[in-house]
Amino acid sequence: MAAKQTTKPDVEDRLLVIGCGMIAREVLAVKQQLALDHLELTCLPADFHFHPSRIAPAMDQAITEAKAEGYRHIYVGYADCGTGGLLDRVCEKHGVERIAGPHCFAFYQGAAAYAQVGEADMMSFYMTDFLCRQFDAFFIKPLGLDRHPELMKDYFGNYEKLIYLAQTDDPALDKVAEDAARMLGLVYERRATGYGDLPEALANAADAAAHHQRA
């Protein structure tokens, strides 16, 4: 697991979010926005995005370790994210909840909005603020496109559109997404989603933790 924020002595009363490294910045932004001072965050590696089979076993271990450290209130900062239901089995095993939805591209847009556009977006390549910041590290270099640009058609030839789901208004990130669409030969669309369902999900998890403390 990635390094965790300093654990406070009163871990039993705190909400620990074990999340995807791809949404760490956003979780912390929502924490500040909603003044969720008792929320702590630890993350699994962001590159599990490309290796969904690693998510459920790593989450199982992370929750087990967190409980051993004394955390009673744990929330899984993942959607299903390609685990094919295996993450839900881990959540059920430990009696914890996760973010609803199939993946972060859905909960950033909001479940209702995604339900309306999901089928139409089947041939679209999604980017988020994180993926804009890490475009070279997550796509260009691992796929060898910096050395073999001719492979772009092999990797992205079945896409028709690049959709940037923007959590923030950052011209630098806009430029990355626009340049990526141009480089990949895809139609470009920007959707200002903000944090989507994430604030409500974290607020509900915090409320549930507070309720259990009072019970």
**Residue 92 burial (CB < 10 Å; 0-12/13-18/19+)?**
exposed
User: pLDDT tens, 57-116?
Assistant: 999 999 999 999 999 999 999 999 999 999 999 999 999 999 999 999 999 999 999 999
Higher per-residue confidence, 165 vs 6: 165
User: Is-contact 73 16, C-beta < 8 A?
Assistant: yes
pTM of the model: 0.90
User: pLDDT tens, 111-167?
Assistant: 999 999 989 999 999 999 999 999 999 888 888 888 988 888 888 989 999 999 999
**Residue 68 burial (CB < 10 Å; 0-12/13-18/19+)?**
exposed
- Say whether 174 sits in a helix, a strand or coil: helix
Helix (H) or strand (E) holding 40: strand 39-44
User: Is-contact 30 52, C-beta < 8 A?
Assistant: no
